[in-house]
Amino acid sequence: MKEISTKYGNFIPQHTDNELRRKEILPITYHASGAVKSLPLEKQALVTTPVGDIPAELITFHSNGGINRIFPLNGKLSGYWSQDDEAALAEPVTIETPIGSITARIISLSFYENEALRSVTLWPGDTVSVSTPVGFLEVRIGISFTPDGKVSSVEPAKPAHVETPAGVITAFDPDAVGVNGDENSLVFDKNGEVTRVTTTLTRLKAIHPDGAVSVFTPATRESLCSEAEEEIVPMTVFINGPEVAIRTKANQPPTRVPREKHVFFTEPYLPQLANSLEMMRCSV
């Protein structure tokens, strides 16, 4: 099989399959310019990247030849090969990030066209402690960075109290899905200010100029555990320059409240305490 040449070396593309993990031979794809876009490898190979040497079974590239994403494993999940089977093959790797070294099992790494690290996606169940604009946090699923190396977003692994222009909000999204680490529920701007945060544990109040008070709390939905049970729907708060926007339901637009002449404050929202400290969640 002819090797494929890239700026990171020559690699043998996948040309055989496996009845359990790799049930089909994935094709090499190309950009319109003719540059390689997606390269599945025959065997896991060590690739020297800007953040360290990373094992890879699949590499995707930007049109300029730089790595877009690198996947240490690329097995196909099925009734015969589960996520747990694939995860058992994952080995911890150490990468050099803008906020220091991280050692964890990695689903993928993403890079900008200038080769700066864009995001880290962790295997389900894995967490790392990282420095963020709101202090050290235990993070799951993913971490993303700006092109100049600042933390852009993280997915808190457990409830964390964070300061925002709308008050202290307990950040945690129990519904977070780890497709990739590019976008996460706790988001920062270039100055490190919180611009988006998701919570099930905080109530937000806005006092209007006329003295009226608007109260925003996470909604509820029928639990997947039982029709007789309800579970909390995460509420998302957006701080967009001159306004605060609050979305209490995913299928509804947020309510927008100007920051000017309004006073915001927060308080704990703990309806779970009425049901043995925590309502059942079968969705996670």
Give the lowest-confidence range in 66-75, 152-161, 265-274.
Answer: 265-274
Q: Residue 200 corresponds to which tokens in the numbers above?
A: 């099930």
CB 98 within 8 A of CB 112: no
160 shares a domain with 271: yes
**pLDDT at residue 280, rounded to an integer:** 41
223 to each of 68, 227, 272, how far by Cα in Å? 39, 6, 13
131 shares a domain with 68: no
Give the end of a domain, one of 72, 91, 110.
91
CA atoms of 196 and 241, how far apart (whole Å): 12
Taking alpha carbons only, the member of 136, 129, 122, 125 closest to residue 101 is 129
148 shares a domain with 79: no
Question: How large a percentage of the chain has pLDDT more than 90?
Answer: 77
In a domain, 121, yes or no: no
pLDDT, mean of residues 220-244: 84
pLDDT, mean of residues 126-145: 96
Exposure of 61 in the CB half-sphere (CA atoms within 13 A): 23
The answer on pLDDT for 248 being more than 60 is yes
The answer on pLDDT for 1 being more than 90 is no
The answer on pLDDT for 275 being more than 70 is no
> Which residues, in sequence order, are bridge partners of residue 156?
139
CA atoms of 97 and 203, how far apart (whole Å): 35
**pLDDT at residue 276, rounded to an integer:** 35
The answer on pLDDT for 183 being more than 60 is yes
SS3 state of residue 84: helix
Q: How far is CA 36 from the centre of its chain?
A: 27
In a domain, 213, yes or no: yes
Give the end of a domain, one of 73, 91, 109.
91
The answer on pLDDT for 208 being more than 90 is yes
Give the lowest-confidence range in 18-22, 27-31, 248-252.
Answer: 18-22
**pLDDT at residue 284, rounded to an integer:** 40
Q: Residue 9 corresponds to which tokens in the numbers above?
A: 């070396």
SS3 state of residue 271: helix
In a domain, 100, yes or no: no
Q: What is the mean pLDDT of the chain?
A: 91
**Exposed (0-12), middle (13-18) or buried (19+): which is 238, by Cβ within 10 Å?**
middle
284 shares a domain with 221: yes
132 shares a domain with 261: yes
272 shares a domain with 147: yes
- Of the pLDDT bands very low, low, confident and very high (cuts 50, 70, 90), residue 226 is low
**pLDDT at residue 18, rounded to an integer:** 80
Q: Residue 199 corresponds to which tokens in the numbers above?
A: 């919570």
127 to each of 27, 79, 139, 255, how far by Cα in Å? 33, 27, 5, 33
CB 73 within 8 A of CB 57: yes
In a domain, 35, yes or no: yes
pLDDT, mean of residues 225-236: 80
12 shares a domain with 133: no
151-183 burial, b at 16+ Cβ within 10 Å, e below that, comes to bbbbbbbeebebebebbebbbbbbebebebbbe
174 shares a domain with 38: no
pTM: 0.89
Give the end of a domain, one of 91, 117, 149.
91
Give residue 237's domain range: 127-284
- Of the pLDDT bands very low, low, confident and very high (cuts 50, 70, 90), residue 283 is very low
141 shares a domain with 86: no
- Of the pLDDT bands very low, low, confident and very high (cuts 50, 70, 90), residue 278 is very low
Higher per-residue confidence, 220 vs 143: 143
Number of domains within the chain: 2
240 shares a domain with 143: yes
**pLDDT at residue 255, rounded to an integer:** 96
In a domain, 223, yes or no: yes
In a domain, 101, yes or no: no
pLDDT, mean of residues 181-196: 95
Higher per-residue confidence, 231 vs 93: 93
pLDDT, mean of residues 49-67: 97
In a domain, 99, yes or no: no
The answer on pLDDT for 228 being more than 80 is no
Question: What letter represents residue 95's amino acid?
Answer: I
The answer on pLDDT for 153 being more than 60 is yes
33 shares a domain with 137: no
In a domain, 154, yes or no: yes
Residue for token digits 């997606």?
A: 38
175 shares a domain with 40: no
- Of the pLDDT bands very low, low, confident and very high (cuts 50, 70, 90), residue 220 is confident
